[in-house]
Structure 1
Amino acid sequence: MAYPIKYIENNLVFNHDSECFAYYELIPYNYSFLSPEEKFQVHDNFRQLVAQNRDGKIHALQLATESSIRATQERSKKEITGKLKEIAYQKIDEQTKALVDMIGDNQVDYRFFIGFKLLLNEQEVSVKNIKQELLNAIQDFIGGVNHKLMGDFVSMSDGEIQRFAKMEQLLESKLSRRFKIRKLEKNDFGYIIEHLYGHTGIPYEDYDYHLPKKYTDKEVFVKHFDILKPTRSLIEEKQRYLKIQTEEETTFVAYFTINSIVGELDFPSSEIFYYQQQQFSFPIDTSMNVEIVANKKALSTVRNKKKELKDLDNHAWESDNETSNNVVEALDSVNELETSLDQSKESMYKLSYVIRVSAKDLDELKRRCDEVKDFYDDLSIKLVRPFGDMLGLHSEFIPASKRYINDYIQYVTSDFLAGLGFGATQMLGENEGIYVGYNLDTGRNVYLKPSLASQGVKGSITNALASAFIGSLGGGKSFSNNMLVYYAVLFGGQAVIVDPKAERGRWKETLPEIAHEINIVNLTSEEENKGLLDPYVILKKPKDSESLAIDILTFLTGISSRDSEKFPVLRKAIRSVTQSKHRGLLLVIDELRNEDTAISHNIADHIESFVDYDFAHLLFSDGYVNQSISLDKQLNIIQVADLVLPDAETGFEEYTTMELLSVAMLIVISTFAFAYMLIK
């Protein structure tokens, strides 16, 4: 079959039928966590994008491209800062080796491409315009003759390229208002074509398509060989598959197209492009060639079909036979479609939907083909693998190609096309950073950048400052959190871990490579730890210490700020301690005693009742305790033994004394950690 591409200029592709297509990559959007309302909004955006094209053609491609694991890991290295840089490099290299051994050099990365046929605006008829069109026609004729005779170069009129380039700019503006897009370039087209012709193993980002051109005042020349170069492979067409041989490997490829759609595709839940990324453990490609049928022509076609069906119905009646159910159902559908087209004034769309399945041997190809058929059958879509049409269906994937066969055309609406979920994907994590695992649904590696949290970086996915690890007992929550903290420290972050169960006490022994940057503070009930969690000891700024002291003492005593008798007395005593030379919660009790009122003595007695209770002495100092929790290391672990936390359902008034003290300590530690975070 004739190769359709005549010339490539930036994202413009010219074919031999004098048509020009503009191609873009539709940047995938995260579809997994959208609400039904948000899904309908995306559906409506795509429907309007399709519906606003009143004429012409649309070519949409979903391709299973390859991305380099090594390149991603190397990009991750560039994110590393801090004192543990060399150790982090070593760990990432070990990671890379393990990933390559397990997955291979590349992993599947689905990309979405969409091309629109450009239609030049109607120009005012004038002698000048007629002359220009005549010159273009003569140049095309001469170029065609030279190509037939010489076969070396393809020539394109620079004026024609510029005219289509202006139209492309208007189209880009319209597209970018609804979706994130990227203009394709020669490297993209080269990769797409080589992928279709059996060349694998090259990461998308590393591919380079050498396409030299020679420019003159009015024309551009390119070697015909350079246009054909990405197709260099041997293709043998069998009845139901293609055997594609390259220098490196042999690939067997089969093509499916839609035979019939026997049921309704409900939205949401029928987004084929989205779900097939998760359904299959092997890569598949999909092409949609859409020809737009204007509303008047579509209505005429539907009414002619309606007449044919009525003739069948009348013939059955005249023959004294019953009309078949198929005819009755078709009549109902035609009437409904006619009403919809008449009211909406929308176009109809002739859809050629082709699926490409590839494998390294025929047995595996058969298994994959059966799996694809079953998936579409569940969606009430019947696929067919036509005999002897494999090469023609293969050509439909090539940019700027035309529809190969009319036997399997589906007449659809813009709603149907929008409901297929083109561009939808499941996106977890960032493009590089800390490797944390892989997505069970898509198989893609997941990377995180905790440093991006709440930084307002455009395009970042890691936006939340807080994170939660949720799962069943023994499901790996602690392990996941420990791993993330460990790698965040390697990448240059500094961490404070509150470890009430003392599960990380042996990290210096088990993580010898970073032992010199681990600081473990074990706050036991020993006398030597007395007062270490006193707000006046643990925080540096007196004002912050005062605020925390108020929070702790009101929490322990239950004195509310609304209590007009007790709260002012307590507040005055804390302020006096803050303004003194030596500061500590034990001195608050002395200040209350010095006040020498019934209320102050009552509050002092209440606070004093906690001082010698179990590990509560950690909270109370006499003003002469020095801060010994030094957090100048990369990884700091604070261990507090014997904490007893209340259940979530337990009301505050039901807390036991141990629960009150445990929560008070966590308030102090979390406040300190937050202050540490702000300082760092």
Structure 2
Amino acid sequence: MFPIKYIENNLIWNQSGEVYAYYEMIPYNYSFLSSEEKEQVHNRFRQLIAQQRSGNIHALQIATESSIRATQEKSKELVTSALSDVAMERIDAQTDALVEMIGDSQVAYRYFFGFKLVLDDQEMNLQNFKETFKETIRDFIGEVNRKVMGDFLSMSDKEIRRYSKAEKLLENKIGRRFQFRKVTKNDIGYILDHLYGQVSVPYEEYEYSLPKEKLKGETLVKRYDLLRPSRCLIEEKQRSMKIVGEKQETYVSCFTISNIVGELEFPGSEIFYYQQQQFNFPVDTSMNIEVIENRKALTKVRNKKKELKDLDDHAYQNDSESSETVVEALEDVTELETDLNQTKDSMYKISYVIRVCADSEDELKMRCDEIRDFYDDLEIKLVRPFGDMRGLFEEFIPASKRFEDDYIQYVTSDFIASLGFGATQQLGEDHGIYIGYNVDTGKNVYIQPALAAQGVKGSVTNALAMAFLGSLGGGKSLSANMIMYYAALFGAKVLILDPKSERGGWIENLPEIRDQLNIVNLTSEQKNRGLLDPYIIYEDREEAKNLVVDILTYLTGISNKDPEKFPILMSAIREVTDSERPGLLSVIDVLKKQGTREASLIATHIESFADCALGILLFSSGKVEGSISLDKQLNVLQVADLILPEPDKEADSYTITEVLSIAMMIVIASFALNFIQEDRSVFKAVGLDEAWSFLQVTQGKALSNKLVRAGRAMNAGVYFITQNVDDLLDEKMKNNIGIKFAFRSTDLTEIKKTLEFFGLDPEDKGNQERLRNLENGQALMQDLYGHIGVIQFHPVFADLFHAFDTRPPVEKGA
């Protein structure tokens, strides 16, 4: 008999009248945690299990296979740009390459918990007795009607309300330690269809039709609709089953634990976590957990201890030694008795079943061997009981009962917590821009740059900014270039500030986007005079004045706390700002006209910068021919003659050209502020290459903070491409970084700071070594959900790699 009787939201009634509340557990990050942090997770999980003092728990891990082709097709739905044709061609070619490399499908895991609801808060008064009696009679009549007349099942609305109330209390309890989501009928339908081999659509698109008819005091549901997911022919063999559906045939086998030979040592026993990188095929796991409250558990343990002592005494009386097995078992049971006495915890009767499927019997056998080997390494012995496949298979069905007691294990909450249920190695989104693959699991990694601001469920940040950190040559520029290129193809307007002029070759290397690619190359020629003059950039005079103040105070070193020079400078700036045709050169003229010694010295100081080659771009008389346009899908703004100081060079030792270069960077960054304030309905991305160059000066810091703050409001992300974590200023700035990438670093101090930036233990030696030993193109990544892993960036196409690679060319031998 099919075990499910009725479904209401996340509540499931079984044929025995028991009610379970099911939740999906939001996977939690487990990668790169220190031993202490893993212990904290372990304790939270143990408390989650231990709070269920009675009843049953059903923990269910479901492997959902996703088609790469379907994922790529779904990614196409996000494309909205003028470059949509190019985007579609790239995605199609990308799809063919990925399928050829890794096949057409990949596995993702979802985790579900079902808790049996026990209405133990009801007083057994006369009214409750009457209600229970009425429900019993109604169920009996309904069962007779169903067998004699029909296909409809009736459920009392009062009973639904009673259990719904109990479910709300449970939800509050379990939500204190991990994130959970109430399952829906679609989730339950998908699980059933998946188990019976009938799923043909992705998880997110699955729809389970379960129409209901609401009558006075009761709800009717058609029994066939509940049974529909299980419609198939099942042929049970000795140690496997053949499931024949409408569209395909599936071979299924079930394992269960026969014996745990050794002691599972934690950390290291996280089966659910490690199997994600071990198996490239779907593996489902069901843990049917029966709670044995403390008093009963102690009785059972003491009885077992008594049996073992009798065996030990019997051996002694016969002048022989007890076997090693008996001695060890007696020590273990004594230790368990002490533990139960002290903690007052429950014990748990667990049925652990593994389900594996394949398209052929040969493939199923190979997969079974691989699973058995994996568990053997953990000193856990698995069996496929002869003739028990159907019973073990049905344990996976939500709200079902345990099939048999032959293979149960008696465990504590520590054992269940040590298995790593819900621990994930997942990175990124389920579709979007393909950027590479998880090094540990081989799974494709997708991102959606605009998604953070949408408040997506499960995310730990709503910041749109990204950071690309790492020493020279690790791959941060190539990776950032790739993401911004695809962002433009998908519909974002992109501006890249390139102080090293490394992207000038894109016109030749990326001919497919030439019509929507705008590279502005600013040289110190007379034709470009004043193009970066703040009075030319900004139409708003007040904004222009503020930027002029930032630039001139930086160039001259005049502080706003200087009571003599600062008022003189501000007076001249105000006069120029209010003039008919303002320009930076006019500030020099106004200062000279003041006739004072201080004003003349300031004018001379500013004029010394205006006379430099780079000064041509910054200083104008207020009249400039042409302007800088950033109206294409992908815009690159570069100044050819910038000479930036080394990151570790002291500011006091900067040359005049280096000072002017940083001033230019501040002005160029102001373009970004104008850029992101365009159409709020369009996502904008601003790439700040060599971001340290303006983050290290006061004016640049203020501008960067403004870019980040305004970015969130204006649907824009700022991408900081820099070498060190400290370049990202204070914690406030760091907290506004959403997705993070850290490439190889060899400096221990910087490695520790990077790990701390990712929220990891900076003293963990394993994490330090992992970051130090990253290969070119590999990065430590943290996504919107706080998940952390190592990604291998994968441009796929040789032309993109060539275009985005910023390494100097290698001389070829003759």
Instruction: Report TM bin, short chain.
Output: 0.7 to 0.9
Counterparts in 2 of 1:386 and 1:573: CA distance versus 1, 3 Å? same
How far apart, CA to CA, are the structure 2 residues paired with 1:587 and 1:127?
Answer: 95
- What displacement does 1:365 show? 2.5
**Runs of 5+ unmatched residues, structure 2:** 680-814
Give the letter for the 1:395 counterpart: E
- Which deviates further from its counterpart, 380-389 or 293-302? 380-389
Please give the per-residue CA displacement for 1:118-176, whole angstroms capped at 9, x wherever unaligned.
223365445555555455445555666666x6595464452555544443344344444
Partner of 2:685: none
- What displacement does 1:464 show? 3.1
> Is the Cα–Cα contact under 8 Å of residues 499 and 638 in structure 1 kept in the other structure?
yes
Counterparts in 2 of 1:263 and 1:651: CA distance versus 1, 3 Å? farther
Give the letter for the 1:548 counterpart: L
Give the letter for the 1:201 counterpart: S
> Is the Cα–Cα contact under 8 Å of residues 581 and 622 in structure 2 kept in the other structure?
yes
Give the letter for the 1:404 counterpart: F
Where do residues 518-597 of structure 1 align in structure 2 (5 Å cutoff)?
A: 518-561=517-560, 566-596=565-595
Partner of 1:669: 668
Partner of 2:253: 254
How far apart, CA to CA, are the structure 2 residues paired with 1:341 and 1:455?
Answer: 47
> Is the Cα–Cα contact under 8 Å of residues 65 and 282 in structure 2 kept in the other structure?
no
Counterparts in 2 of 1:141 and 1:578: CA distance versus 1, 3 Å? closer
Partner of 1:28: 27
- What displacement does 1:444 show? 4.8
How far apart, CA to CA, are the structure 2 residues paired with 1:244 and 1:454?
Answer: 44
> Is the Cα–Cα contact under 8 Å of residues 646 and 659 in structure 1 kept in the other structure?
yes
How far apart, CA to CA, are the structure 2 residues paired with 1:592 and 1:389?
Answer: 95
Where do residues 157-172 of structure 1 align in structure 2 (5 Å cutoff)?
A: 157-158=155-156, 160-172=159-171
> Is the Cα–Cα contact under 8 Å of residues 66 and 202 in structure 1 kept in the other structure?
no
> Is the Cα–Cα contact under 8 Å of residues 155 and 219 in structure 1 kept in the other structure?
no
Partner of 1:410: 409
> Is the Cα–Cα contact under 8 Å of residues 525 and 616 in structure 2 kept in the other structure?
no
Partner of 1:356: 355
Q: Does 1:374 align with 2:373?
A: yes
How far apart, CA to CA, are the structure 2 residues paired with 1:669 and 1:179?
Answer: 45
Partner of 1:392: 391
Classify the secondary structure of the residue corresponding to 1:468: strand
> Is the Cα–Cα contact under 8 Å of residues 106 and 280 in structure 2 kept in the other structure?
no
How far apart, CA to CA, are the structure 2 residues paired with 1:172 and 1:568?
Answer: 63
Partner of 1:621: 620
Where do residues 103-114 of structure 1 align in structure 2 (5 Å cutoff)?
A: 107-114=106-113
Where do residues 289-438 of structure 1 align in structure 2 (5 Å cutoff)?
A: 289-430=288-429, 432-438=431-437
Please give the per-residue CA displacement for 1:527-585, whole angstroms capped at 9, x wherever unaligned.
21123223333333334334433433443444555556655554554444434444333
Partner of 1:480: 479
Give the letter for the 1:326 counterpart: T
Give the letter for the 1:495 counterpart: V
- What displacement does 1:669 show? 0.8
How far apart, CA to CA, are the structure 1 residues paired with 2:282 and 2:391?
Answer: 21
Give the letter for the 1:197 counterpart: Y
How far apart, CA to CA, are the structure 2 residues paired with 1:380 and 1:53?
Answer: 29
Partner of 1:500: 499
Partner of 2:736: none
> Is the Cα–Cα contact under 8 Å of residues 26 and 458 in structure 2 kept in the other structure?
no
Give the letter for the 1:233 counterpart: C
Partner of 1:232: 231
Q: Does 1:639 align with 2:627?
A: no
RMSD of aligned alpha carbons = 3.8
- What displacement does 1:232 show? 2.9
Counterparts in 2 of 1:230 and 1:575: CA distance versus 1, 3 Å? closer
Counterparts in 2 of 1:143 and 1:624: CA distance versus 1, 3 Å? closer
Counterparts in 2 of 1:221 and 1:84: CA distance versus 1, 3 Å? same
Classify the secondary structure of the residue corresponding to 2:113: strand
- Which deviates further from its counterpart, 291-300 or 361-370? 361-370
> Is the Cα–Cα contact under 8 Å of residues 450 and 464 in structure 2 kept in the other structure?
no
- What displacement does 1:84 show? 5.5
Counterparts in 2 of 1:627 and 1:46: CA distance versus 1, 3 Å? farther
How far apart, CA to CA, are the structure 1 residues paired with 2:647 and 2:200?
Answer: 53
- Which deviates further from its counterpart, 300-309 or 70-79? 70-79
- What displacement does 1:301 show? 0.9
Where do residues 250-289 of structure 1 align in structure 2 (5 Å cutoff)?
A: 250-289=249-288
How far apart, CA to CA, are the structure 2 residues paired with 1:145 and 1:492?
Answer: 61
Classify the secondary structure of the residue corresponding to 2:450: helix
Counterparts in 2 of 1:594 and 1:190: CA distance versus 1, 3 Å? closer
> Is the Cα–Cα contact under 8 Å of residues 619 and 665 in structure 1 kept in the other structure?
yes
How far apart, CA to CA, are the structure 2 residues paired with 1:155 and 1:623?
Answer: 83
Partner of 2:187: 188
How far apart, CA to CA, are the structure 1 residues paired with 2:626 and 2:571?
Answer: 25
How far apart, CA to CA, are the structure 1 residues paired with 2:639 and 2:91?
Answer: 33
- Which deviates further from its counterpart, 67-76 or 240-249? 67-76
Counterparts in 2 of 1:74 and 1:241: CA distance versus 1, 3 Å? closer
Please give the per-residue CA displacement for 1:218-275, whole angstroms capped at 9, x wherever unaligned.
7666565554433233333333332333343332222222233345545555433233
How far apart, CA to CA, are the structure 1 residues paired with 2:307 and 2:159?
Answer: 44
How far apart, CA to CA, are the structure 1 residues paired with 2:392 and 2:255?
Answer: 8
Please give the per-residue CA displacement for 1:575-633, whole angstroms capped at 9, x wherever unaligned.
44434444333334344444555555544444444434343432222333356112333
Counterparts in 2 of 1:466 and 1:242: CA distance versus 1, 3 Å? same
How far apart, CA to CA, are the structure 2 residues paired with 1:322 and 1:349?
Answer: 32
Counterparts in 2 of 1:612 and 1:514: CA distance versus 1, 3 Å? same
Classify the secondary structure of the residue corresponding to 1:450: coil
Give the letter for the 1:332 counterpart: E
Q: Please, what TM-score do these two structures have when normalized by structure 2?
A: 0.73
Give the letter for the 2:248 counterpart: E
- Which deviates further from its counterpart, 96-105 or 468-477? 96-105
Counterparts in 2 of 1:606 and 1:263: CA distance versus 1, 3 Å? farther
Classify the secondary structure of the residue corresponding to 1:630: coil
How far apart, CA to CA, are the structure 1 residues paired with 2:257 and 2:131?
Answer: 43
How far apart, CA to CA, are the structure 1 residues paired with 2:159 and 2:562?
Answer: 83
How far apart, CA to CA, are the structure 2 residues paired with 1:454 and 1:163?
Answer: 39
> Is the Cα–Cα contact under 8 Å of residues 530 and 621 in structure 1 kept in the other structure?
yes
- Which deviates further from its counterpart, 637-646 or 4-13? 4-13
> Is the Cα–Cα contact under 8 Å of residues 536 and 624 in structure 2 kept in the other structure?
yes
Counterparts in 2 of 1:571 and 1:626: CA distance versus 1, 3 Å? farther
Give the paired residue count: 678
Counterparts in 2 of 1:521 and 1:425: CA distance versus 1, 3 Å? same
Classify the secondary structure of the residue corresponding to 2:614: helix
Counterparts in 2 of 1:475 and 1:134: CA distance versus 1, 3 Å? same
> Is the Cα–Cα contact under 8 Å of residues 508 and 515 in structure 1 kept in the other structure?
yes
Q: Does 1:207 align with 2:213?
A: no
How far apart, CA to CA, are the structure 2 residues paired with 1:476 and 1:282?
Answer: 32
- Which deviates further from its counterpart, 91-100 or 46-55? 91-100
How far apart, CA to CA, are the structure 1 residues paired with 2:208 and 2:494?
Answer: 46
How far apart, CA to CA, are the structure 2 residues paired with 1:420 and 1:478?
Answer: 39
How far apart, CA to CA, are the structure 1 residues paired with 2:104 and 2:556?
Answer: 62
Give the letter for the 1:390 counterpart: M
How far apart, CA to CA, are the structure 2 residues paired with 1:215 and 1:583?
Answer: 75
Give the letter for the 1:245 counterpart: V
How far apart, CA to CA, are the structure 2 residues paired with 1:107 and 1:583?
Answer: 61
Q: Does 1:48 align with 2:68?
A: no
- What displacement does 1:350 show? 0.8
> Is the Cα–Cα contact under 8 Å of residues 427 and 445 in structure 2 kept in the other structure?
yes
Counterparts in 2 of 1:667 and 1:312: CA distance versus 1, 3 Å? same
- What displacement does 1:349 show? 1.0
> Is the Cα–Cα contact under 8 Å of residues 67 and 205 in structure 1 kept in the other structure?
no
How far apart, CA to CA, are the structure 2 residues paired with 1:356 and 1:503?
Answer: 53
Partner of 2:60: 61
Q: Does 1:448 align with 2:447?
A: yes
